[in-house]
Structure 1
């Protein structure tokens, strides 16, 4: 944002809702990659100016909730998509500051709250090329002693996602030696949502078109069962699973019916498949 502009209201609302409970408070504030820069017509900031604005913003938001928010998505969706050679996607953060904008963001967040868990968060990590970029980025940050404490895998997947796909993804990410947090789990049942592992809300219509796949309820349940079987297998690494919504009516991909509860908040077959996997895991201990 422009110098001196900080909107803490969304974080305040989340923190107020979680206060006094045992919920795991989570925040997101860091460098984003939407159209935010395009709203302002002032001359472009210099590297030093943008770093100072970043530091001021992070210190303001994280400092305000020091000791209250347990985990922050410090940098979100910075990795490039596709099969090219670039690790990071094009952005004005990268253009103005350079690739060290990520390390700086983590540094500033750690300064503001040394006790918080700091995450790098991204979508599409089930894709081998995207996952390779993640591993390259995190290894570089680790070599620089940057305080990255966890990997956030959004896991916006689809009903064709198998146990094997999730197992391979978690196996490779676990080599980084960091806790893995599943941060935005949903499983798209729309025919148009079977083409990849995206999370770009601008393309949401394309991923929810074409109606549901055939036998959608069963396929959704089978997909969730396989996904949670992989989570259980990797429970030493997977420390958190957060769903991206509660019921289908309020999902960002509502027409893909991606969650465990239907539009009337009634449990679906997928809910029972997840509970079944949890029971199997408990009995196997």
Structure 2
């Protein structure tokens, strides 16, 4: 697709004011979250009941999709978590264990935690998503220092060889570059991270080529967040991502999948259907697949009744999935965790947040039903 055609396609879904508006909103500063404890849940835990009749993986499979979730090594000690993953998932994502600073806090790589997840996946017949090879927030200090002083691509090649060489047989999708977009950094909408500073924009294409050479049968993914809502900032993020994908495709870079993180956030209102639809349409027009990689929902007000909160979370989930699942280039959906008891949102948003399919007692919530309905 030519650049002119791409930009016209994006503009059809996003007005000039929405894409280029003067006000640039930082997505981490829109609204606030009430951290009121969940008194009903604390006062009287609900009794255990039988799991839902239909597993999420079987519902997804009926559509030719996969369902997965991110897991941490620590959660393997929870028998309910293990049982739910084995029941509901066909794919798992290592939440932290495969990130560079986790697997190599020093130059001596340490595979213990990641090996545990890989072993669990193998025992339960699960494949893995490779998350993630390059991310500016998980670059170890020793590697950051080496890149800044030497600008030697051999450091990245060596990292890819170690990680892909050890786990590549279990991985179907590699998040090769995680979160490369940042319009506020100017220029071409790319984040001026450590990799950009060392190698320029070419680092993205080089990373894709390096990973593809080591995993020729796996899908190469650009994984990005902040693409779901109707603000000038997120409009710019959508457009910057589309332009990056167009440049990569025009140069023949081996990117074949776009990872849409889908960290939904009720503080921002409801998802922007036109913007998401236009982005999905243009990605499909480039011949690329889409994976929903990190779905969860941040609540706007945890002071409401549990019933009302769960309904709002489920409705937002359904709104989003109803848009993206209209497109036949979607491969699958992964949530960023399965239970509220094991969610990054507890520390990043509110300890009481209920933004995953199961609550802390492993009872399926309306969000679980919303995902099932979207797969139907």
With the length of structure 2 as denominator, give the TM-score of the two structures: 0.62
What displacement does 1:166 show?
Answer: 3.8
- Counterpart residue number, 1:19: 122
Q: Answer yes or no: is 1:68 the counterpart of 2:170.
A: yes
Instruction: Give the secondary structure class of the aligned counterpart of 1:240.
Output: strand
Q: Answer yes or no: is 1:259 the counterpart of 2:351.
A: no
Q: Distance in 1 between matches of 2:365 and 2:154?
A: 49
- Alignment counterpart, residue 286 of structure 2, candidates 173, 176, 180: 176
- Counterpart residue number, 1:208: none
Runs of 4+ in 1 over 6 A off after TM superposition: none
Q: Answer yes or no: is 1:217 the counterpart of 2:301.
A: no
- Counterpart residue number, 1:197: none
Q: Distance in 1 between matches of 2:137 and 2:280?
A: 28
Task: Give a deviation string over 1:133-165, Cα, whole Å, max 9, x none.
Answer: 111111111111111121111100123333725
With the length of structure 1 as denominator, give the TM-score of the two structures: 0.80
- Counterpart residue number, 2:134: 31
- Counterpart residue number, 1:207: none
Q: Answer yes or no: is 1:134 the counterpart of 2:236.
A: no
- Larger of the two Rg values belongs to structure: 2
What displacement does 1:276 show?
Answer: 2.8
Q: Distance in 2 between matches of 1:10 and 1:124?
A: 29
Task: Give a deviation string over 1:3-57, Cα, whole Å, max 9, x none.
Answer: 954344444233212114442311124222126454679673322x2x0000011
- Counterpart residue number, 2:91: none
* Structure 1 pair 97–185 and aligned structure 2 pair: CA distance change class (3 A): same
Q: Contact conserved, 1:78 with 1:122, CA < 8 A, in 2? A: yes
Return 261-270 or 157-166, whichever deviates more.
Answer: 157-166
Q: Contact conserved, 1:63 with 1:112, CA < 8 A, in 2? A: yes
What displacement does 1:249 show?
Answer: 1.5
With a CA cutoff of 8 Å and minimum separation of 6, indicate the structure with the bigger relative contact order. 2
Task: Give a deviation string over 1:35-91, Cα, whole Å, max 9, x none.
Answer: 6454679673322x2x00000110111122232211111111111144844421121
Instruction: Give the secondary structure class of the aligned counterpart of 1:19.
Output: helix
Q: Contact conserved, 2:297 with 2:317, CA < 8 A, in 1? A: yes
Task: Give a deviation string over 1:217-268, Cα, whole Å, max 9, x none.
Answer: 221121122122113312x021110000101121111333111211111111
Q: How many residues align?
A: 257
Q: CA RMSD in A?
A: 2.6
Gapped regions of structure 2 (runs ≥ 5): 1-103, 229-233
Q: Distance in 1 between matches of 2:184 and 2:304?
A: 25
What displacement does 1:98 show?
Answer: 1.6
Larger helix share, 1 or 2: 2
- Counterpart residue number, 1:45: 149
* Structure 1 pair 9–143 and aligned structure 2 pair: CA distance change class (3 A): farther
* Structure 1 pair 91–232 and aligned structure 2 pair: CA distance change class (3 A): closer
Map residues 151-230 of structure 1 onto 2, 5 A cutoff: 151-159=258-266, 160-162=269-271, 164=273, 166-191=276-301, 211-212=302-303, 215-230=308-323
Return 77-86 or 140-149, whichever deviates more.
Answer: 77-86
Gapped regions of structure 1 (runs ≥ 5): 192-210, 280-285
Q: Contact conserved, 1:189 with 1:257, CA < 8 A, in 2? A: yes
Instruction: Give the secondary structure class of the aligned counterpart of 2:315.
Output: helix
Instruction: Give the secondary structure class of the aligned counterpart of 1:181.
Output: strand
Instruction: Give the secondary structure class of the aligned counterpart of 1:151.
Output: strand
Q: Distance in 2 between matches of 1:8 and 1:148?
A: 27
